Copies of this chain bind each other. A is one copy, B any other.
Amino acid sequence: MAELQETPLDQRYFEDYLEGAVVECGTVAVDEHEVIEFGRRFDPQPFHCDPAAAARGPFGGVIASGWHTAGLMMRLFVARYISSVASLGSPGAEELKWPLPVRPGDVLRVRVSVLESRRSRSRPDRGLVRSLIEVFNQRQELVMSMRVLNFLRCRTDNPPQ
């Protein structure tokens, strides 16, 4: 079977997400204007959206809302990891961590690893994939991680005997 990373997004199904597979999802630059705009809209704490207050605050400058970091991560997760034809959404995630601040000018890199993949017994047309998502900055420091669950449609309705 081809490596997950080599399989086009529109040909990936549950069966392709094998435990141990690792996908490098690329990078995204963190733009100050976007950090402030996102902060004002969704997380208007001074250290996310007010540069003057942020400079005097606990982080010594503006940092990205953790939800903005999650959004930037998700864009790469959709662009490089999750199937474009078989994704059936997510029931949730475990251990969402933001160990270090994300600052304007940072360049984030996303890596996703398949931790577990399990075909549904009650609905054999789908399976559940548990993935570790890790986000690193340009100094290779971990700035976000989580374990996410995704439902994915199977390529074949009949599981291998």
Number of copies: 2
Please count how many residues in chain A sit with their CB below 8 Å of the partner chain's CB atoms.
36
In the complex, whether A95 has a CB less than 8 A from a CB of chain B is yes
Contacts A70-B70, A91-B98, A96-B94 given: A75-B42 contact, CB under 8 Å? yes
CB neighbors of B among A80-99 (8 A) = 82, 84, 87-99
Q: Are B96 and A93 in contact (CB under 8 A)?
A: yes
Report whether over half of chain A's contact residues are helix, strand or loop; otherwise say mixed. mixed
Give the Cβ gap from A148 to chain B, nearest Cβ, in Å. 9
Binary interface encoding of chain A residues 16-54 relative to chain B, with 1 for a CB under 8 A from any of its CBs, else 0: 000000000000000000000000011111110000000
A-B contact pairs, 17 of them (CB 8 A): A42-B74, A42-B75, A44-B78, A45-B78, A47-B89, A58-B89, A59-B89, A63-B89, A65-B74, A66-B90, A67-B70, A67-B74, A89-B101, A91-B98, A92-B96, A93-B96, A94-B94
